[in-house]
Structures are given as C-alpha cells and as structure tokens.
Amino acid sequence: MKLHFLVLSVPITQLVISAPVLPVYAESAPETTGFQLQTITVTATKRETAVEEVPASVTVKDGAFLENHEVRTTEDMTRFVPNLSFKKSISGNAFVARGISTIDTALVSPMGLYINDVAYPLSYMQSQPFFDVERVEVLRGPQSTLYGKNSSSGVINVVLPEPDNEFFARGYIEGGSYETFSGAATARGPLVEDLLFFGITATGMDSQGYMENAVTGKNNVADEQNLSVRGVLRWTPTRDLDVSFSLDGLDRDYGIAYMRYEEGPYATNAYEVSSNEEDRAELDNLGQTLRVKYAFTDMELTSITAHQSTDYGMIFDFDRSQASFGYTEMDLEQDIWSQELRLTGAVSAFEWLGGLYAGIEKLDNDWALNHVNPAITNTRITESDFDNVALFGQISWALTDKLKTTAGLRLDHYDSSGSQDLTRSGQTIIFDQDLSETELLPTAALIYTFHDTVEGYLTYSTGWLSGGYNYYSASSNDTFTYDPEYTQNYEAGVKTRFLDNRLQADLSIFYTDIDDKQVREEVSGGVGAWQFTNAAKAHTTGVEVEFRAMPLKNMEIFGGLGYAYTEVDEWIGTADGKAIDYSGNQLPWAPDLTANIGVSYYWNNGFYGLADVSWNGTQYFDAANALEEDGYALVNLKAGYTMENWDISLWCKNLFDEKYANKKVDDSMGRTMLEDGKPLTVGLTLNWRI
C-alpha cells in the first residue's frame, strides 16, 4: 500500500499541477490590477521561509485574520484549519490532526502546541487565550527534526510579536450572550531606544456559561472566569545578540457541568444537566522563558530555557444525576524544565539545522472516586517523573535551481519512573514501574519548482508518542503502564499562486501508518475498570485543499477542505467480557471531514462584513463505532465600522443554533451521556489602537 501510494502520487501531483496552469498563461488572463495577496513567510522551519517552499501541508493565519474572525482561543482557530479538530471534554482536551486522536483521559497529545518556541504538552493546557498574536502556523504530519519535543501528528506554532523601537498599544472590550464579558489590552515599545524594550499583554473573561442545572435551577453551572497575563523584556546590547525574558500566567476558575444523559430516567434537554455536585475545576499555570539568540557570520545560535508549573483540580458528579451515588475528585500538579539549543545556518546551496533538547517533567496526580458502594470507592495517589533527551537536525540541499532535497534525523531517548498507591476496601496496593525507550526517527523530502508560481513536493516523515501511566484505572502492575505509539507519514503536495498572486491554492494527499496504537480497553474489575494498551494497528489516508483569493481590492475569499479516513487494521478488544474484533472500524475522536469557507469585504467608507461556514463530518466516540455524532455546519457572521483608532462590530457564532455533541459515552447500564457544544451566541466588540 505504501509503495503504491508513492508511485501513484507522482502522476497525480503532475496532473493537479498542470490542470490549473492553462488558464493562467492563456492570452485572456487578466492584467495586473495593482493588488494581490500578501506573501506568507513562516518560521515553523526555524528559519524565515516562504510558505510555498516548505515541503509539508501548512496553514498560516496572521493576527489580523484571527482578530477579524473573533478567534479568542486555540480551540476557535481549528475551524479554519483542514484536518484539525479540537477534542473538547471535561476529561481532557487535545488537538486531533488527520484523524490521529488520543486515549480519552490522556494527559498528552500527539499534536504539539508551541507558543513562542515553548511546548504546552498537558491536555489541560491546550485551550489557550489568543490576543496580540503575530501569526499561527499549523504543520500537519510528524515534525521530529525541527522541534525540541517530538510531535507525532503535527505542530501548532504560535508566534508572538517582539517589542522593538516602535510603540504600539491596543485593546478591546466585549459583551455577549450568557452574560459574557471579556477584554484585553497590550502595549509594547522601547524603554531605551535600540537597547531595551518591553511588552505586556493581559486578557480576561467572565461568563455564566450556557448550561443550566435542572436540580438546583442555577444557570451558571458551566461558568468561567479567567485571567491571562504575559510580560516580556528584550535586550539587544549588540547587533548580533538578542536576549528576552518572558513571564506568563493563566488563572481559570470554571464550571464543568456539561455532561448530561441523552436517554434513561435522568435524561435532560439540550444545555441542561442534572447534578447534585458542584462540578468545578480550577487551573493555574505559570511559565518563565529565557531566550538568547546570537548571530554569527553564516549561522545563528538560539537557546531557549523554559519552566512551567501547572496546577489543576476538579470535582465532578460521577453519576450525573440528582441522586447521591458518588463523585470524583482530582488534584494534578506538573512541573516542567526544558533546555533547547538550536544552530541554524546556510552555506552556498546548503541550509541546515541542528538541535539538542533536554527536559525534566514531574507529575503528581491524586484522584479519588467517592461512592455509596464501598466496594467501588477508591483513591489513587500517583507520582511520575520523565526525563527526555533528544538530538535532532536536518539539511536541505539545492541540487539544481529547481530541485531541493531535505534529509533529517532525530535520536530521542526518555526514562520515566512512576508509582501509584491504590486504596480500596480498606487495603492499599502499590504499583511501581519504570519505562525507558530510545528511538531513531528519519525524515526526507523533495521539492521541485515547476514554474515560478508552482511547486510540488514529496515527503516521508516519522514520529512517536511516548508511553506513560494509567493514572485513573490501573488494576495491576501490568495495567499501570502502556508503550509508545508510532506513525509513518507519506505525503505529496502542490502549492500554487495564480493571477498575479490574487489566487493561492494548495493541495496535499497523505497516507499515515499508526503502529502500536494506544487505546483504552475494558478489563474485569467492575465500574471504571480500564486499561491502556498498544493493542491496535491503524492507518489514515486523505486529502487537504486550501485556497485564498482576492477577486476585488477590498474582498478576500478563503476556504479549506480536509478529509481523513481512519481505519483500524488490527484490534481485538473486549466488551462485557467477550472478545470483539474492531478491525475495519474508524478510530474514535476523529471527524472524517473538516471544511471551511469564508468571505470578507471592506468598504471605503469604513463599514465591513465577514462571514464563514465551518463543517465537521461524522465522528465516533468509541471503538465499536456505536456512539456517533453526525456531521454539522456552523455559520458565523460579523459586521462593523472602523475609524482611525476605533472599531465597533456586532457578531454571531452558530447563527442557526446547531445542536451537536463534543463527547458521548455510555454508562454501565448502556445509557448514553453527552456533552453539548456551544449554542448560538451574539456579541458586541469595541476595539481601540494607538
């Protein structure tokens, strides 16, 4: 299958390239009109590169686009990225790229999230506020030879602006549905011209949320209050030395009463839960980063020293009813230190990158299930430590003025130790396991320039997701751990620019093998008895298409489509104590279709309007593919008026109040519970800038 894919990809790529070229060079092609789309430059490859020169499927959205389309969080951004979705759940968040999802309750994601070169690996850190962002770069496919921490399905690279000699300030205040109020402000500029610069950004939000408790009558059981602050000092004592220190913090206090029964005696209507517990969570995250850059004659050295501490606690109604059967409690503390050294350079026809990464992570997780049945009640106190060291690098060689080849390699090693004290029925059992793994991950790519406006590429890349610990449901020493998961990605694509750069269109096709897939399986032992194993082998194959067009000077049209068909090749699981063959099923948490299309128009008198539609296809939430969410579309509108320093706009999201589920799960009686997605919301925003 892999060989056939590569053989077929070449003629397919040539066909796609040649098809749109004919009208562009025909005599009837439009003349230059003096306006065009901006050229996109990215730093996802650790050097400034035009996006069409990157041999990978890349989506880039700049800060203006994010602000114009009310993208306030990392979750909001996914509606504009093909084959990227956000697994939003009270059991943990995760980005899902090309159908490669995670175990439910997993604490890490195969999709890497980086904010200014610092990794945010913990699932509870994946939903981050967005404001004053320079751009977001999404690379799909394994990225093992460019980033310090390995990413097996792709990378989201968030680039923040650096303060310089130009003073800049702006902010907004916003009010919306469900008594939601938010605001943000940023300022940056020189303290000492050409030498010392500052930047500070703050965002905040207060919302009662869209869920109501049918038991208590409260309409704020999914409320949220958050505050995020980031400060940076930048020092440039010479032309070659650039030093910056940043400090950032996030404080979130929020209700998590989203899960409700869809059927059975405790069933409720949409956006209505039945619970007799508080159902709350609190997240505190504090990070510090020291970044040092030094430019030599033909190369640049970058050092990134980072520390992050995260505290997460929650209480949740176990039975999701007004009956007092039980509740769960969780207290998680994570501390991460990392050091990355990266050297990049270019000599003649060669460009190269070499890097060293070292990370130390300590994670303590206390979890308790309190139940009226003493046999079910248990507490788990887990301590785990992870040490990770990696060498990575790649080299690109321009074989001719049209053909460039890239080869890279990553040597990755990690050691971990974990122990858990499980107390139930008055007895304490201790699990204790050490894990160690060393992996060699290659990558290779070819990119060929067919014309000044047409490039095609072929890429092979590999990745892995390290093994870990079962913090919530281990029943023995053997079920306390699980092993790594591996991906091999084969990809072909074409990137084009037509009509004097008023039309940009990209296409990629891919096939990804997933070996030793990490899955959750039932084991004997009663309610909540699960194990995480590497029982599955699967693959995902699909296509991604994106375009941007500027048919008129004040109008831009954009869109994208991603199709990722996942299939289980081998997986014999268990259900109700019986063996079940899941082969041929689709992987859970993986929508098969993601698509978007939008348009914006700016009148010369200051008025403007924007509209976009995003689609999510069918997805399943269980291995048996019995819990299904049909596809749905969300329509978003915005209209506003802009002046020299002010901007006011009225917007709505999910215009037609589409009902959909973020998650579905069956209880021990086979009754389905779900978590509702966001309903129709409207708001008014006032922006200012200096």
Instruction: Say whether pLDDT at 526 is over 70.
Output: no
Minimum mean pLDDT range among 38-42, 252-256, 446-450, 521-525? 521-525
Rounded Cα gap, residues 662 and 653, in angstroms: 16
Query: How does pLDDT run across 201-247, given as a tens digit for each residue?
Result: 999 999 999 999 988 889 999 999 999 999 999 999 999 999 999 99
Helices and strands, counts by H and E, the chain: 3, 42
Domain count, the chain: 1
Q: Greatest CA separation found in the chain?
A: 85
Q: Which domain holds residue 9?
A: 2-689
Q: Whole-model pTM? A: 0.90
What are the tokens at 527? 């309610």
Q: Which residues of 495-513 are buried (b: 16+ CB within 10 A; e: fewer)?
A: bbbbbbbbbbbbbbbbbbb
What is the DSSP-derived secondary structure letter of residue 44? Answer: T
> For position 261, which CATH number holds?
2.40.170.20
392, HSE (Cβ side, Cα atoms, 13 Å): 28
Q: Are 475 and 468 in contact (CB under 8 A)?
A: no
Tell me what pLDDT residue 234 has.
98
Q: CB-based burial of residue 360 (10 Å sphere; 0-12 exposed, 13-18 middle, 19+ buried)?
A: middle
Beta strands in 372-425 (DSSP E): 378-398, 403-424
Q: CB-based burial of residue 427 (10 Å sphere; 0-12 exposed, 13-18 middle, 19+ buried)?
A: exposed
Residue of 642, 648, 638, 634 whose CA lies nearest to 677: 634
Residue 615, phi then psi, degrees to nearest 5: -115, 145
Instruction: Say whether pLDDT at 35 is over 60.
Output: yes
Using alpha carbons only, how large is the chain's radius of gyration in Å? 25
Count of beta carbons in the 10 Å neighbourhood of residue 669: 6
Query: How does pLDDT run across 282-317, given as a tens digit for each residue?
Result: 999 999 999 999 999 889 999 999 999 999 999 998
Q: Are 141 and 489 in contact (CB under 8 A)?
A: yes
Confidence band, pLDDT 50/70/90 cuts, at residue 7: very low
Tell me what pLDDT residue 524 has.
56
- Higher pLDDT, residue 76 or 670: 76
Query: How does pLDDT run across 414-462, given as a tens digit for each residue?
Result: 999 999 999 988 899 999 999 999 999 999 999 999 999 999 999 999 9
Instruction: Return all residues near 690 (Cβ < 8 A) that are at least 6 apart.
Output: 167, 168, 169, 170, 645
